[in-house]
Amino acid sequence: MAQHVDVVVIGAGAAGLFCGIETAKRGRSVLVIDHANKAGKKILMSGGGRCNFTNMDVTPAHFLSQNPHFVRSALSRYTQWDFIGLVASHGIDYHEKELGQLFCDHSAKDIQQMLLTELAQADGQLSLDTHIQAIAYENQKYQLQTSVGLVTSGSLVVATGGLSIPTMGASDFGFKIAKQFGHSVLNYRASLVPFTWNNADKSTWSALSGLSVDVQVSAVNGETFGLPLLITHRGLSGPAMLQISNYWQPGEHLIVNWLPTLDVAEKVAEDRHHSGKKQLKTWLGQYLPARLAEHFCQWLALNKTLAELSKGDVAILSEALNCWTFKPGGTEGYRTAEVTLGGVDTQHISSKTMMSQLQPQLFFVGEVLDVTGWLGGYNFQWAWSSGWAAGQVC
Ligand SMILES: Cc1cc2nc3c(=O)[nH]c(=O)nc-3n(C[C@H](O)[C@H](O)[C@H](O)COP(=O)(O)OP(=O)(O)OC[C@H]3O[C@@H](n4cnc5c(N)ncnc54)[C@H](O)[C@@H]3O)c2cc1C
């Protein structure tokens, strides 16, 4: 026998659970379906197991989308302060790590449990391990053929997220549903992701793996972040690289300033008067980890004292340190990416309700949409805000 509910939500991740909660609180019958065996798997693995669930400074400028205004309405109607209030009302302890990023003191499980408790209290149903074979829309009803039988609903919310971490249940099902009902899907790619070496840099740099340095990194479009960079065997990672990956296109280069607070040419000119006998390696070691200082001297063949540096040497040194051009071989892809950049085009989606303007009672929430946040709790805030917006009307 078919099961009928007012609303089916596909995807029991951050956005789907939140939308399900808000919908159920309005007295609507809701079924949240997921093909995974656990709800909110990405919540559990997020923020190094502590879930960076929002940020104290959330503005539309922290998000990328073909339509940069799309996020405004939802972010202003359900804010970070609303979500922080919910977290506090569940007695979950949290702290600011840095840059406004809020993490659980104890575990990301607290956030997952909070969502499951809220859903159960509002009488929302959850169906895990449930596979959807086909979706049709007939007689103003959605009909879903699933592994547990036919499910029908008046509204359908697509909350299937992006493609990152395929082992956690990520799929392109949401993109397929969007296309089925006439929506376009913009080009998408792995983002908030580490970069891999090109062949030439790999041999020069990978021996330095494990080093972390505060740098400034810029993309071709001028977007710049001052944050730690981590050298790995595979390439460059750390917050600086993850952030800039949102603004990088395959084939482009990045500019790394290894000493953002120091104009190298100026400082050499100043110091060579009183410290001319100092080895460059020792001088650089004041500002960079010793291994990295040594690496630059060897790589640039500048095993000299400050006084011995020619004008040309200083130019080479300052270019390598203040303006190093890095051409990534690529990225680590969906295997380690935190998000998918791009996705369902927002052009025919209401920014107030997340409802399709092409198909009755069809909604898209969370990462499946062409909305990508910066690193720092922004992607979860988008999941809460967009899930909440749809949950008021679906
Ligand atoms: C390692 C990692 C760490 C992260 N850390 C943070 C962080 O600290 N802060 C932050 O803001 N963001 C973080 N993110 C990003 C954040 O997790 C996502 O942006 C967010 O989870 C998106 O929510 P969503 O509900 O749209 O999608 P998801 O949370 O991905 O949920 C989608 C759900 O849909 C289900 N699904 C997919 N296909 C189907 C299908 N065919 N049938 C049924 N169900 C399906 C999936 O199983 C999943 O449960 C991190 C991401 C990763 C991978």
In the three-class reduction of DSSP (H, G, I as helix; E, B as strand; rest coil), residue 79 is classed as coil
- The response to whether residue 347 sits with its C-beta less than 6 Å from ligand 1 reads no
Look at residue 35 in the predicted model and tell me its pLDDT.
97
Q: Tell me, using a 6 A CB cutoff, whether residue 63 lines ligand 1.
A: no
pLDDT reported for residue 167: 87
What is the average pLDDT across 190-199?
Answer: 97
The alpha carbon of 159 and the centre of ligand 1 are apart by a number of angstroms equal to 9
Beta strands in 132-220 (DSSP E): 132-138, 141-146, 149-158, 185-191, 195-196, 212-218
Report pTM: 0.97
The per-residue pLDDT for range 346-356, each reduced to its tens digit, is: 999 999 999 99
For ligand 1, what atom is nearest to the CA of residue 381? 11
For residue 94, what pLDDT band results from cuts at 50, 70 and 90? very high
Q: Closest ligand 1 atom to the C-alpha of 172?
A: 38
Q: Tell whether ligand 1 has an atom less than 6 A from the beta carbon of residue 132.
A: yes
Asked if residue 1 has pLDDT above 90, the reply is no
Ligand 1: atom nearest CA of 380 is: 11
Q: What is the mean pLDDT of the chain?
A: 97
Closest ligand 1 atom to residue 160 Cα is 34
pLDDT higher than threshold 80 for residue 293? yes
DSSP 197: P
The 10s digit of each residue's pLDDT in 46-81 is 999 999 999 999 999 999 999 999 999 999 999 999
Using most ligand atoms within 8 A of CB, pick from 9, 42, 129 the residue to mutate for ligand 1: 42
Atom of ligand 1 nearest to the CA of 11: 34
pLDDT at 169: 85
pLDDT confidence of residue 125: 98
304: Cα separation from own chain's centroid:
44
- Over residues 316-341, the mean pLDDT reads 97
- Residue 162 Cα, ligand 1 centroid: separation in angstroms? 7
Residue with tokens 């008067």: 273
CB of 342 closer than 6 angstroms to any ligand 1 atom: no
Domain 194-331 superfamily per CATH? Translation factors (2.40.30.10)
Question: Mean of the pLDDT values across residues 144-156?
Answer: 98
- By percentage, how much of the chain surpasses pLDDT 70? 100
Please say if the pLDDT value at position 168 is more than 90. Answer: no
Above 90 in pLDDT, residue 269? yes
Pocket of ligand 1 contains residue 159 by CB under 6 Å: yes
* pLDDT band per the 50, 70, 90 thresholds, residue 225: very high
Task: Give residue limits of the domains in the chain.
Answer: 3-186+343-391, 194-331
How far is 174 from 172, CA to CA, in rounded Å?
A: 5
The CATH architecture assigned to 3-186+343-391 reads 3-Layer(bba) Sandwich (3.50)
Q: From atom 4 of ligand 1, which residue's Cα is the shortest distance away?
A: 46
For ligand 1, atom 41: residue with the closest CA: 173
Atom nearest to 47 CA in ligand 1 = 8
Look at residue 2 in the predicted model and tell me its pLDDT.
Answer: 87
Evaluate: CB of 51 within 6 angstroms of ligand 1. Answer: yes
Give every strand in the sheet of 254-257, ordered side by side.
Answer: 324-326, 254-257, 212-218, 224-231, 235-237, 195-196, 330-331
